[in-house]
Structure 1
Amino acid sequence: MPPDPSSTSRAFSRRRALMLGGGALLGAVAGTSGVTLPAHARVAARGLARAFDAAAAKHGVPRDLLVAIGYAETRLNNYDEPSRTNGFGIMHLVKNSAHETLPEAAELTGRSESALKAEAGVNIDGAAAVLREYADDAGMSSGDRSDLGAWYPVVARYSGADESSVMRLYADAVYDALWTGVDKRGVVVDPTPVEPDRSGVASGPRILSSAVDYPGARWDSAHSSNYTSSNRPGSYPINYVVIHVMQGTYAGSISWFKNSSSNVSAHYCIRSSDGQITQMVRHSDIAWHAGNSYYNQRGIGIEHEGWFDEPEWYTEEMYRSSAALTRYICDQYGIPKTRDYIVGHNEVSSTPCPGQIWDWNKYIRYVNEDDEGEVVWDVVVDATSPDFSAGDSWDFSSWSDQKYGDEYGFNTPEPVSDPAWYSADLPQAGTYRIEAWYPANSGYNDRTPYVVAASGGNQSVHVNQRTGGGQWHRLGTFSFDGGYQQVVGVSRWTSGEGYVIADAVRISRLE
């Protein structure tokens, strides 16, 4: 028989409801459309545009080319922290064992490296000086310098890559920005159909599809000193996929993994613009990506182009391409397609990677997308249903308009066994898809555990309830026996912070 719903506490605390709702109310006000940029932001935008104009005029480098390089490198962000390859500023002036545009810029401009790192205008001027130096080295005349297409070999050299295939990846990204145009942070480049002169940059070796583990990927090997040769899964089982964001560009990361002194690598790199995938380490070998030997030995590392705090890098193309790759890896090695096995770098090492912008709910949904059969039966259980049960410690709220039904449960995270359970009378044994619905708020838990009581034993799926509210989120597909049973629980036992929310689940039988 279903649990008696009268045993569930419905005591509602207005104080706790206000605590739950306050953050969302502030967010709604802050997100109101039509807000005018503050004066200091407008001044900064004008200053950035003027900095590009001044550097271009001073050094005889096309202004639109300078902007396109800055856009391809950082989306015109003057980041406070260096990139993975120790690059700085909007123009990503670099100082590492293989590439030294930062000290080159300091020598050419007479400005200190610290100023070139920190001041946007100085950084842009330094990059323009380096580009002009490269143009002079290439013997470009004043006529050549007025031709955007003729700068292609100079841009390729600015990448710092040793191999022509990687140089082309970088330069092509810059010229793509010229083709599509730029309108960012008050800096505008109109779309310009430039035909680059690639004759000065060799096309690189032909990439053999037989070299890759994932069909459709291109192969470009990391340097052999940056990973450990092995014989996985014989030597170690492959149990995890580890998600990273590069803090840099696609071409830059590929180049860095090929640098013998970088001591880092990943199995795959994925490009933001179109989801192109480059494999750099074979599955059988151990890439050095996790900062954790256990996860290095047992994981596949996937790097994604972009920076933690710039949403523009996180494209639909990259998400879908990466999800298809992860799905393939999980199917190949029997890895469950859940958040306990598809993890962020920050979950296995002390790092912010892949950052707060990464949309885990969408990503896991995409990873599981092709696993569906036809839905032949389903049921929704919410916090007002007689098939929902929770102990006296749980409170209930109707505050959020993202809720599924009339109200939802909430509780504080504690290391106790006190879950809220959703039960259902499953028509027969088989495969069921489990989805969760919840309201989202910055005060809710970023790692809420959903405990799926599958026939083979409980499986935990952690969900970030701070984002993606008011919609169904796939927890995965699981095997169940038939009959009435507890199907999914929301646990309080989590290392995450904020209230855990128990709203609704949808249980669907698949054939």
Structure 2
Amino acid sequence: MPMPVPRTAAVAAAVALIIGLAAPAHADTTSQRQRDFAAAAAEFGVPENILLGVSYLESRWDTNAGTPSTSAGYGPMHLTDLREAGAATSHHDEGTEDPRGDDARPARHPQAGPAAPPPALQTVDEAARLLHTDAGTLRTDPAQNIRGGAALLAKYHTGDWYEAVAKYSGSTGDAAQTFADEVFDTVKSGIARTTDDGQQVTLSASPDLVVPQHADRTPPGVECPRRVTCESVPAPYQELPGNDYGNHDLANRPESQRIDHIVIHDTEGYWDSVLKLAQDPTYVSWHYTIRSSDGLIAQHVPTKDVAWHAGNWYVNAKSIGIEHEGFAAKGTWYTEAMYRSSAKLVGYLARKYGIPLDRAHIIGHDNVPGTVPSTIKGMHWDPGPYWDWSHYFDLLGAPLGGFGLPGSSLVTIDPDFAKNQPVFTGCDSPGTPCAPRGSEAVVLHSEPSDSAPLLKDAGLHPDGSASTMDVSDVGSRVATGQRYAVAEVRGDWTAIWYLGQKGWFHNPRGAKVAKPAIGWVVTPKPGLATVPVYGRAYPEPEAYPANVPVQAITPLPYTLGAGQQYSSAGTVGSEYYYAVTFDLADHVVVKGKLKYVQIQFGHRIAFVKADDVRIAPAF
């Protein structure tokens, strides 16, 4: 193992090694994308493995069907063109979700206003000038896009490839160095994959590469892992007129109550605008925001405190909320830099608080249940069907799927992200088909046929109509990593129990979208025809002290029927965090004797009373 060396020497050694290893990496492949990288590297004098490493950290070498990333980047080299991508509207300002989701307080529906994109999202113009071509060609032609990225790297190079890579990120300071570190780590370890358009690309490992070493970049008081760049952008805890306050609640977690979930969100806005919202006492709150271009992490609320982010007070009180710069409705893609930074943060938090690394505890905002029947329709659905949960859990070191025996009565949803391309609508305008894109979502039908109607969701569609293919409609959709009990199998079709119905999906041999799983399932106890389902695990009335209003235990408009089974995430105690005043001394954690079981009931999680169900291992 090389001995640690000063940063300047380390970079010099790295550059020397990279140049020495710059022989074409495509000798054993006929991949056109690989040849494009080699040709561009040679043309502009950029080490091929540096070019491959930068592209991987931006796009994983994908084309993403010509759609922009969540930070307006196009193609394998993520050349940014905000002029073409445009500013997306915010689903956070639609619907009726109250981010607090607490019946003890008036609903809060703050409006974010238009998201102002930063002017820096326009590197495609500089690349076009260097190549004497137009921005449209660089957005749509992968080979020209790679040439454009190589030209930019060559321009940024002033004798130090590490610094050129850092500048390519579009950031400065520690955030730019974090991006460069990730690129150099990728070059050192090597990687190979098949892209979203079927190209085989390989970055050969450089095990002797010396990656520059840096001091811990975490400022004092910020809860972050090493090897990422974090900053503190505190959310205000502030009294407001009208006996109100914002924009979160003080607490003493985990001593006062366990933290059971981490909730993944997208911002529906650009970095600068979102950070201003996080500092607005009249707005709502979340614990962290992660930037798309370089993975920079900003912490707003200490994890011991409760942020107002998930639309369900029970979940808020027991979770950490992480926002990712991006737009779910645009059908865009998330950068590898952000995925990696997020995975490091989630892994750090999961270890710190003992949170299981599974899809029952690392959930999307779209997996958070409505609190009562009237709130279901307004619940948010980010980060959307284009968040790559499978890749994300690979980065977490907790791969999804494939751990059960054939024929198991429990399955994990695990489609091939790139090949799985359901045709959703409404990404850009209502009813308009979204661009074909890889997706983590598998659509369910009421019968084993692609032409059969989708399932009904009594909460989302109380009029009794079937669910739709609108990108925001999660009423007949399962997500990668979620586990469900098998109800029936007919040929290449599998049915699972879902919202009290059988939901069918195509699961042919050789192209499985669900893998056998191991785990526990719940079913109603003998003698019970149906079991109520809840969006919160609140205590029994007798548990509340005299000064705390009793919170209703209100069932959702679904039932779990006899003979049906649902995947169990374990038994949880009943809790309610009473926090309606600015003074922490008035806050009370109410814990009851009532026990619940968290289940995967539909696209969202839910709870049933432990006394109503029998828990058994899946076979």
Query: TM-score when scaled to structure 1?
Result: 0.51
1:229 aligns to what? 236
Listed one character per residue, the Cα deviations across residues 173-208 of structure 1 (whole Å, up to 9, x for unaligned) are: 111111111212322222113646859xxx689634
Identity of aligned residues (%): 23
1:474 aligns to what? 569
2:202 equivalent to 1:188 = yes
Residue pair 2:217, 2:229 contacting (<8 A) in 1 also: no
How far has the Cα of 1:78 moved from its partner? 1.2
How far has the Cα of 1:129 moved from its partner? 0.6
1:282 aligns to what? 301
- 1:314-325 matches, within 5 Å, as 320-324=347-351
- Uncovered stretches (5+) of structure 1, i.e. residues with no partner: 1-43, 141-149, 248-252, 329-336, 368-399, 405-409, 418-435, 497-503
2:70 equivalent to 1:84 = yes
How far has the Cα of 1:171 moved from its partner? 0.3
Question: What CA distance in whole angstroms lies between the structure 2 residues aligned with 1:341 and 1:171?
Answer: 28
Give the 3 Å change call, closer, same or farther, for CA 189–94 of structure 1 in structure 2.
same
2:134 aligns to what? 112
Listed one character per residue, the Cα deviations across residues 105-135 of structure 1 (whole Å, up to 9, x for unaligned) are: 0111122212211221111000001111112
1:48 aligns to what? 33
Listed one character per residue, the Cα deviations across residues 283-311 of structure 1 (whole Å, up to 9, x for unaligned) are: 4999999799999x99853147995699x
Q: CA RMSD in A?
A: 6.1
Question: What CA distance in whole angstroms lies between the structure 2 residues aligned with 1:289 and 1:103?
Answer: 40
Q: Out of 21, 42, 55, which is 1:57 matched to?
A: 42
- Uncovered stretches (5+) of structure 2, i.e. residues with no partner: 1-28, 82-117, 195-199, 252-260, 279-285, 327-332, 369-378, 399-405, 411-445, 448-454, 463-482, 488-492, 501-530, 542-552, 575-590, 605-612
Question: What CA distance in whole angstroms lies between the structure 2 residues aligned with 1:309 and 1:72?
Answer: 7
Question: What CA distance in whole angstroms lies between the structure 2 residues aligned with 1:108 and 1:288?
Answer: 47
Give the 3 Å change call, closer, same or farther, for CA 339–231 of structure 1 in structure 2.
farther
Higher helix residue share: 1
Question: What CA distance in whole angstroms lies between the structure 2 residues aligned with 1:287 and 1:159?
Answer: 33
Residue pair 1:76, 1:90 contacting (<8 A) in 2 also: yes
Name the SS of the counterpart of 1:122 in structure 2: helix
How far has the Cα of 1:160 moved from its partner? 0.8
Give the 3 Å change call, closer, same or farther, for CA 78–445 of structure 1 in structure 2.
farther
2:456 equivalent to 1:456 = no
Query: TM-score when scaled to structure 2?
Result: 0.43
2:60 equivalent to 1:75 = yes
Q: Out of 369, 373, 380, which is 1:349 matched to?
A: 380
How far has the Cα of 1:443 moved from its partner? 5.5
Question: What CA distance in whole angstroms lies between the structure 2 residues aligned with 1:133 and 1:69?
Answer: 15
Listed one character per residue, the Cα deviations across residues 239-289 of structure 1 (whole Å, up to 9, x for unaligned) are: 996413699xxxxx9xx74x57976766336899xxx99452234999999
2:153 equivalent to 1:131 = yes
Listed one character per residue, the Cα deviations across residues 313-362 of structure 1 (whole Å, up to 9, x for unaligned) are: 6898776445346768xxxxxxxx99799651586436453746437xx9
How far has the Cα of 1:103 moved from its partner? 1.2
Give the AA of the match of 2:231.
Answer: S
1:161 aligns to what? 171
Question: What CA distance in whole angstroms lies between the structure 1 residues aligned with 2:223 and 2:305?
Answer: 14
1:506 aligns to what? 615
Residue pair 1:461, 1:475 contacting (<8 A) in 2 also: no
Question: What CA distance in whole angstroms lies between the structure 1 residues aligned with 2:304 and 2:124?
Answer: 34
Listed one character per residue, the Cα deviations across residues 89-118 of structure 1 (whole Å, up to 9, x for unaligned) are: 111112452353211101111222122112
1:172 aligns to what? 181
Give the AA of the match of 1:230.
Answer: Y
Listed one character per residue, the Cα deviations across residues 32-67 of structure 1 (whole Å, up to 9, x for unaligned) are: xxxxxxxxxxxx972101111111111111111111
Residue pair 1:268, 1:279 contacting (<8 A) in 2 also: yes
Give the 3 Å change call, closer, same or farther, for CA 481–217 of structure 1 in structure 2.
same
Name the SS of the counterpart of 1:166 in structure 2: helix
How far has the Cα of 1:221 moved from its partner? 2.7
Give the AA of the match of 2:350.
Answer: A
Give the AA of the match of 1:281.
Answer: H
Give the 3 Å change call, closer, same or farther, for CA 481–102 of structure 1 in structure 2.
closer
Listed one character per residue, the Cα deviations across residues 74-96 of structure 1 (whole Å, up to 9, x for unaligned) are: 11111233222211111111245
Rg comparison, structure with higher value: 1
